[in-house]
Amino acid sequence: MKDIDFEIIETNGINTRIASMGEGPLVIFCHGWPESWYSYRYQIPSVAEAGYRAVAYDVRGYGESDKPLEITDYTMKLLTADVIGIVKALGYDEAITIGHDWGGPIALNTAALFPEIITATGTLSVPYMPKSPIPILDLWKEIYKDRFFYQLYFQQEGVAEEEFENDLERALRLTYTNSDGRGMKKAIEKSGSGLNPHKGTDATFLEGMEEFDELPGWLTQEDIDYFVSQFEISGLRGPLNRYRAQNIDWEELSSSLPDQIEQPAFFITGSLDPVNFFVPSQQSLTERIKSNYKNLLIVEELQGIGHWTQQEAPEKVNSFILSFLTDL
């Protein structure tokens, strides 16, 4: 965290903690669940050194940003407005957005809703998807009607919060190590699927997860301790409310979102990312999503990499990001 500057700024009516470095065109990094600005610890210096102002922030509900309590406080409409608030608070007229996991839809939908401000965008793990024909939670209920799916489990207010907060260190460690390349490889070897098809609808999130003897090379105990410290501040209610607001998004934004992202874009995923397995298909995710972009400059699948793309493969991801920025 050396040379990274931290400050609290007002954005869209809330206080947001940002971590920034460098000077130049603004690049905003949006993180996912259950994470922090810290998920971009390898990208911030790399992008700053290339001549940009690299800014990662604690999404509302996380870390040292404000943590409103209601589900309606975590709609995509508000989350995208938070990003625009960062642009304005820092004195810029335009920016580039990059996101991972839930940060992906935040980055992409900000670009879709504010094309006059967001000049380019890219995501890791989660691509741009046009509006679903039915509310997304209804879609998950149809696909996973007889087996466990974590997003449906998260709909029960207070249940997942209690499971995580009973032992934050263990919960976060299991989440990170069961969804990375090593964890996904182990899951596929055990069950033939990265989504544990034998787990029933009455299971809990952590139930059945592998307890590894050692941490993977990309994750240190110091990293886990930092993430734990951030969730000791925030708790899990705000982060989980993002999952609970998905059907509100469908109602609020279904008529506003375009079929394609117009701006220059990139998409990078890992071959073992569990997101790849959410919707059954004979076609790879990288192939399925190409028509969702008008100008997709980079699309890459990193072999052996799981969900935590930019943390598991920081050098490769940084190389792709810098190549993308150079080509704009």
Please list, in sequence order, all residues whose beta carbon lies within 8 angstroms of the beta carbon of residue 141, skipping any fewer than 6 positions away. Answer: 152
Residues in the chain: 328
Q: Which residue intervals of the chain are DSSP H helices?
A: 43-49, 76-89, 103-113, 136-143, 150-153, 159-165, 168-179, 181-191, 221-234, 237-244, 246-253, 285-288, 309-312, 314-327
Among 58, 82, 101, 249, the one annotated catalytic:
101
Q: Are 36 and 239 in contact (CB under 8 A)?
A: no
Query: Where do the DSSP E strands lie in 260-310?
Result: 261-270, 293-302
Q: Are 73 and 13 in contact (CB under 8 A)?
A: no
198 catalytic? Reply is no
At a CB cut-off of 8 Å and minimum separation 6, what does 91 contact?
A: none
CA distances 248 to 14, 72, 135, 161, Å, are: 20, 8, 9, 21
The question of whether 259 is a catalytic residue gets the answer no
User: Which of 82, 223, 273, 307 is the catalytic position?
Assistant: 307
Tell me the two tokens of residue 306: 């799981």
Residue 181's Cβ-count burial label (10 Å; 0-12, 13-18, 19+) is buried
Q: Which of 145, 98, 147, 116 shows the shortest CA–CA distance to 266?
A: 98
Tokens 């102002």 correspond to what residue? 53
Burial class from Cβ neighbours inside 10 Å (0-12, 13-18, 19+) for residue 55 reads: buried
Type of residue at 70: E
Q: Are strands 261-270 and 293-302 parallel, antiparallel or unpaired?
A: parallel
Report the catalytic residues.
101, 307
